[in-house]
């Protein structure tokens, strides 16, 4: 638990929610853990289409009330800790690479190292 499954590179100005369908495509999971940024109809529809249950806290401005399992949501800490670990590599944190393929290659290498250690 806590190992990366998939990542998609986007421009820094892109919203994460635009990639939800691609991230979930072909994955089978009982739950999808995400932060409040994924509390939109697009994400909820994509999660439901994948057959998983969303574990996403509701934003205050969301009109529709939806409960979530706070106990399962605590495991999202593993995701944040993984991002913290890979950002110890300056090349990942600052994205000095000009080409996306170079950055993605180094990101794969760092993810593999962190999963093995």
Q: Where are the domains of the chain?
A: 16-116
What is the reported pLDDT for 2?
64
What is the reported pLDDT for 1?
52
What is the reported pLDDT for 31?
92
Ranges of the chain with pLDDT below 70? 1-2
- What are the φ and ψ backbone dihedral angles of 31, each rounded to 5 degrees? -140, 150
What is the reported pLDDT for 106?
94
pTM of structure = 0.79
What is the reported pLDDT for 67?
85
Q: In whole angstroms, give the CA distance from residue 54 to residue 13.
A: 25
């Amino acid at each position: 638990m806590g190992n990366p499954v998939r990542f998609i590179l986007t421009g820094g100005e892109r919203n994460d929610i635009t990639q939800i369908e691609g991230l979930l495509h072909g994955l089978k999971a009982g739950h999808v853990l995400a932060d409040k940024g994924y509390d939109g109809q697009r994400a909820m529809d994509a999660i439901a289409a994948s057959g998983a249950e969303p574990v996403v806290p509701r934003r205050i401005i969301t009109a529709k009330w939806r409960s979530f399992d706070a106990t399962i949501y605590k495991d999202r800490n593993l995701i944040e800790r993984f991002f913290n670990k890979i950002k110890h590599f300056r090349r990942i944190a600052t994205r000095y690479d000009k080409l996306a393929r170079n950055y993605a290659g180094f990101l794969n290498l760092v993810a593999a190292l962190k999963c093995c250690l």
